[in-house]
Structure 1
Amino acid sequence: MAKYSKISIVASFFGLWLDSFFSNHIQIILGFSLIFSFGILHGANDLILIENKNSRKTTISFIKTLLIYVMIVTLSAILFYFIPWFALFLFIIVSAFHFGEQQWKELISYYPNWMCNSIAFTYGLFILLLLFIFHTSEVENIIFEITKIRIPTLSIPLLFKIFGIAFLLTSAYSYYKYTEIREKILTEVFYLIVFTIIFKTSSLIWGFSIYFILWHSIPSILEQMKFLYGNYSLPNFKSYCKSAFIYWLISILGIAMLYYIFRDDQIFNAIFFSFLAAITFPHAFVITKMYNKKLDGTAHKE
């Protein structure tokens, strides 16, 4: 994955270079296109991952898993409709942990569970706040569209400082105590500098798209391919896309239906993020289980 990280850095700055040629409207279209393709695709194989994890692969167990998965997505959507502020809060918490877990999964060999989870959450939330701090007014408007609640203007800067300090303290402690991961810590700090440049220079959607696709979705697809097929290759990628296609298509049709209904309504952005949240909740759980499965048989501190 180290080789891919170098590619991600080059691709990220290429994305920033393209930013100077496109209007904000074009950036939004391109950003959503990327999210609809690789972004949705990286979560479309969740049921296959669950089936691979289970020792009993029967038709009944698959149908049961499918029903549970659909129920979670449906309950998430209902929660956004009736208690949007709470659903949005859960979405941010789950997304923060999910993003952080992606970056820090190697720590599980060195830390107890509670510390791994704390570092993953702190880091992931700091990345989201790093994006929000450069686009505060847009984020506040989206939050208002979803929840009808105006958050205080100083909320995002204050949270950014709190979790920035928390990440610095945990990183300093980890660097001092665990020599095995010092290089990893320095690497992640460097990545944060890259993310800062991306988020500050680009628009909200374009900056999020660059991070979400290049630094989260594609690496996740590669890891899922390795988990399902043993390695990543073009034939395995084709197999991955083939197995994910029907679930990806259902998601795209769902978003298309929402757009058709609300295309002239200002709340489409809110509904779009609500839809993403609804499919993020079960996906984050599945990926955590995948990492735990990969680590079975290795030394793990309790």
Structure 2
Amino acid sequence: MKNYPKIALIASFFGLWMDSYFSHQIQIILGFLLIFSFGILHGANDLLLIKNINSERKAKSFVKILTYYVFVVLTGVILFYIVPQFALLLFIIVSSYHFGEQQWQRLEQEFSKILVVFFQFLYGFIILLLLFNFHTGQVQSIILKITDISIPTFYFSLLLQFSIPLFISMSAYIFWKQEKWRKKILLELFFMALFVILFKSSSLIWGFALYFVFWHSIPSIIDQVTYLNGSFSIKYFYAYCKAAGIYWLISIAGIALIYLFFREEQVFNALFFSFLAAITFPHALVITRMFQGKENSL
């Protein structure tokens, strides 16, 4: 869907417009509803993707694949319980790369693997840092709940001040080296400016939900449906949702249990992001394998 960025742009401005009419509490509710819908859904079909990725090696049974997947998720949960500081850092690194990889596919066809991986990571890292810098107090509180560590405010701004010039320098290099990427770079820099406005004007959960759903999750679903079927259509999207339904329901049930026992906002936010991190680890690996499969088929 080549026109999807226009849809995401309209949805983001609509979200900004809604922001001025809804209270903080309503924004949190709507934000979580968005995350629970497309946000969770976009990672609920990983097992089907793994099955297709490994289609040439049918020796791996579904039970074996499921066991590996659950093992990685449980490892993430255990890490957050035993060494939460390391687990949170790993989550930020993996999420940063995952966000950037989604936005900058096929870049390594023209550039070295190391440059592309770092560029993709840097893009996603800046997205998170922008969100952190505009909601420092809440982010500090969530980190404190997870790790028992208080992060000084200036660390967030210092990292952002270092990352943005580096990203612009790398963008300028790519712009200079490959003409085919010039329009993409200018467009992404414009979108990044939009995210600044979005995160500054919105609450933490609402701003994160708008980015996570409209700029990451839905584009990822489109890519997954296309990978599984060769093209995207409503029919294929319905089949995708049907296949992901049971895993989506399990995820929602897990989040519901967390909310049932931990309703206090900051505690729930901390546990929710820990849960999100645990399911992000295997999902990010699966999507990387999917993109590698797409490149090998070109």
Smaller-chain TM-score bracket: over 0.9
Residue 201 in 1 paired to residue 201 in 2?
Answer: yes
How far, CA to CA, are the matches of 1:179 and 1:71 in structure 2? Answer: 44
1:272 is matched with 272
Matching residue's letter, 1:199 = F
Cα contact 2:35–2:209 (8 A) shared by 1: yes
Q: CA RMSD in A?
A: 1.3
2:107 is matched with 107
2:223 is matched with 223
For structure 1, which segment, 22-31 or 169-178, has the greater mean C-alpha deviation from structure 2 after superposition?
169-178
User: Deviations for 1:127-166, whole angstroms, at most 9, x for unmatched residues?
Assistant: 1111111111111111111111001221000001111111
How far, CA to CA, are the matches of 2:265 and 2:156 in structure 1? Answer: 27
How far, CA to CA, are the matches of 1:246 and 1:98 in structure 2? Answer: 24
Percent of aligned pairs sharing the same letter: 56
Matching of residues 84-99 of structure 1 within 5 Å:
84-99=84-99
1:213 is matched with 213
2:3 is matched with 3
Cα contact 2:255–2:272 (8 A) shared by 1: yes
Matching residue's letter, 1:206 = W
Matching of residues 110-189 of structure 1 within 5 Å:
110-189=110-189
How far, CA to CA, are the matches of 1:36 and 1:70 in structure 2? Answer: 20
Matching residue's letter, 2:175 = Y
How far, CA to CA, are the matches of 1:240 and 1:179 in structure 2? Answer: 36
Cα contact 1:51–1:57 (8 A) shared by 2: no
Cα contact 1:31–1:209 (8 A) shared by 2: yes
1:71 is matched with 71
Runs of 4+ in 1 over 4 A off after TM superposition: 56-60
Matching residue's letter, 1:128 = L
1:251 is matched with 251
How far, CA to CA, are the matches of 1:151 and 1:136 in structure 2? Answer: 9
User: Deviations for 1:250-295, whole angstroms, at most 9, x for unmatched residues?
Assistant: 1111111111121247422111100000000000000000000001
How far, CA to CA, are the matches of 1:187 and 1:230 in structure 2? Answer: 26
1:32 is matched with 32
Using structure 1 for the length normalisation, give the TM-score: 0.96
Residue 233 in 1 paired to residue 240 in 2?
Answer: no
Structure 2 CA distance for partners of 1:19 and 1:245, relative to 1, 3 Å? same
Matching residue's letter, 2:152 = P
Structure 2 CA distance for partners of 1:265 and 1:165, relative to 1, 3 Å? closer
2:51 is matched with 51
Displacement after TM superposition at 1:180 (Å): 2.1
Segments of 5+ residues of structure 2 without an aligned counterpart are none
Segments of 5+ residues of structure 1 without an aligned counterpart are none
Using structure 2 for the length normalisation, give the TM-score: 0.97
Secondary structure of the residue aligned to 2:153 is coil
How far, CA to CA, are the matches of 2:121 and 2:115 in structure 1? Answer: 10
Structure 2 CA distance for partners of 1:2 and 1:196, relative to 1, 3 Å? farther
Cα contact 2:106–2:295 (8 A) shared by 1: no
Displacement after TM superposition at 1:113 (Å): 1.1
Structure 2 CA distance for partners of 1:143 and 1:182, relative to 1, 3 Å? same
Q: How many residues align?
A: 298
Structure 2 CA distance for partners of 1:199 and 1:265, relative to 1, 3 Å? closer
